[in-house]
Structure 1
Amino acid sequence: MPTDVKVAQAIGTIGCALAASGIATLSTFSIPNLILPSRQTGKTATYDKKPGTPAPHLTNQWLDLYDRGKKFFPGLAGFSSLANLYVSWKVRDSPLPGPFGLTWSKCYLLAIASTMGIVPFTVLVMSNTNNTLKAHATRDDAADEGLRPHEMENRERDDEEVVGVLGYWAKLNLARSLFPLVGAGIGFYAAVSSVILP
């Protein structure tokens, strides 16, 4: 394989793996740390205990994580996919059969499709949960004094549900991280296969 193809293979595979691990980290480290109960040493976060931070602040923190991730991870996945697209184009006329019974080009296109699956998954599967958390994070808590009793009860109920919604979001987000992970796996397998083939 020419050097430019090897470099593109490395960028595509490593970029997909970084995107997968970064997205998964939000679910496995960031969200559990946000919802930690107050001063319980030696305990990890659980979704059935009251967090040490008020619900409006939790969703504010989540919104900051979400906005940062939205700016970074799709770009990283897109850049990795561009590298895989370059490899797909460069190996399009390869006489050797590719892995999985596919041509080399189709193999890299499959890696791209898997990696970019984070976008439709976010839109189709996570939108309702994202919108619920965004609405909570941006609600006007300063207007609490003028609310009727049933409106205050609704707000209190929303606050009580925040930890559960964050836990559900963490599970969905962890599932989303599997898309670039599969893309990285396909890219890695194709790269290794291309090295060991005669």
Structure 2
Amino acid sequence: MNSIPVSATRPTTGIRIAQVVGLTSAAYLAGAIGSISWQSVPALLDAPAPLLAKQWKKIFDQGKVVAPPMAAISSAIFGYLAYREPTASSGFKLYTFAAIVVPSIIPYTIFLMSGINNKLQEKARSLANASLTDTAVESGVAQGETAHELLDKWATLNLGRSFLPLIGTLAAGWAIVDKFEVLGLGAVLKTGANRMG
């Protein structure tokens, strides 16, 4: 009977938990941010401006409470996993990259989205007392400045933002699977006449 040599380093339970939590939180963040642009916004665009602004504000307020802490958790975990890797390894580089790219949603939001966020928040304030079904409330608004047009621009920027934690998830996932050649499954190949039993 010939055995196949099996080589793998089994991470500790703590490392496995960190890997799962880091990947899950970064992937959840990417999906949550992205789903707003490709699921929620199309529905919001069907609403009259006052309702659209009110609903966007609720989504925005919930997102700013959840997204930054989740990005920080993912970043801290990926930083910890990078610390556990030798500095010359690809795992160290990939975890470090993930630890940087996931929380970059925060500067992305500040530098690329704050202008449109402020405009949409002002829309929510100015339309707060309008009837939620008033379809003519923005009839005199300049082109490009209606709640619908602003939200459409916002959705594109938001979709771009979702790629940051997605890229971090992929980098960290690659760091995890890159370490393993074959898991210790006790694989054995039988040869000769006795291979069938």
- Pairwise TM-score range, normalised by the shorter structure: 0.7 to 0.9
1:34 equivalent in structure 2: 44
Q: Does 1:17 align with 2:27?
A: yes
Measure the CA separation in 1 of the matches of 2:125 and 2:30: 28
2:81 equivalent in structure 1: 87
Equivalent residues of 2:53, 2:127 under 8 A apart: no
- Counterpart amino acid of 2:39? F
Runs of 4+ in structure 1 off by over 2 angstroms are 104-107, 140-143, 153-156, 195-198
Judged with a 3 Å threshold, the aligned counterparts in structure 2 of structure 1 residues 59 and 6 are, in CA distance, closer, same or farther, namely: same
Identity across aligned pairs (percent)?
A: 31
Q: Does 1:126 align with 2:113?
A: yes
Q: Aligned runs of 1:80-159 on 2, under 5 Å?
A: 80-92=74-86, 97-99=88-90, 104-139=91-126, 156-157=140-141
Deviation at 1:196, TM superposition (A): 2.5
Deviation at 1:155, TM superposition (A): 7.3
Equivalent residues of 1:85, 1:112 under 8 A apart: yes
Judged with a 3 Å threshold, the aligned counterparts in structure 2 of structure 1 residues 155 and 141 are, in CA distance, closer, same or farther, namely: farther
1:170 equivalent in structure 2: 155
Judged with a 3 Å threshold, the aligned counterparts in structure 2 of structure 1 residues 91 and 137 are, in CA distance, closer, same or farther, namely: same
Deviation at 1:197, TM superposition (A): 7.8
Judged with a 3 Å threshold, the aligned counterparts in structure 2 of structure 1 residues 119 and 142 are, in CA distance, closer, same or farther, namely: closer
Deviation at 1:106, TM superposition (A): 3.0
Q: Which blocks of at least 5 consecutive residues in structure 2 are unaligned?
A: 1-10, 131-136, 184-197
1:2 equivalent in structure 2: 12
Measure the CA separation in 2 of the matches of 1:18 and 1:142: 35
> What is the Cα-based RMSD across aligned positions, in Å?
2.6
Measure the CA separation in 2 of the matches of 1:92 and 1:63: 45
Deviation at 1:189, TM superposition (A): 0.2
Paired residue total:
167
Q: Which blocks of at least 5 consecutive residues in structure 1 are unaligned?
A: 37-52, 144-152
Range with greater deviation from structure 2 (2-11 or 57-66):
2-11
Cα deviation digits, residues 83-102 of structure 1 (max 9, x gap):
11221222246xxx533xxx
TM-score by length of 2: 0.76
- Determine helix, strand or coil for the equivalent of 2:180: helix
Measure the CA separation in 1 of the matches of 2:29 and 2:129: 38
Q: Does 1:64 align with 2:58?
A: yes
- Determine helix, strand or coil for the equivalent of 1:117: helix
Measure the CA separation in 1 of the matches of 2:129 and 2:176: 56
Q: Does 1:179 align with 2:164?
A: yes
Equivalent residues of 2:54, 2:128 under 8 A apart: no
Question: Could you say which structure has the greater relative contact order, defined with CA pairs below 8 angstroms and 6 or more residues apart?
Answer: 2
* Structure with max Cα Rg: 2
TM-score by length of 1: 0.76
- Determine helix, strand or coil for the equivalent of 2:141: helix
- Determine helix, strand or coil for the equivalent of 2:179: helix
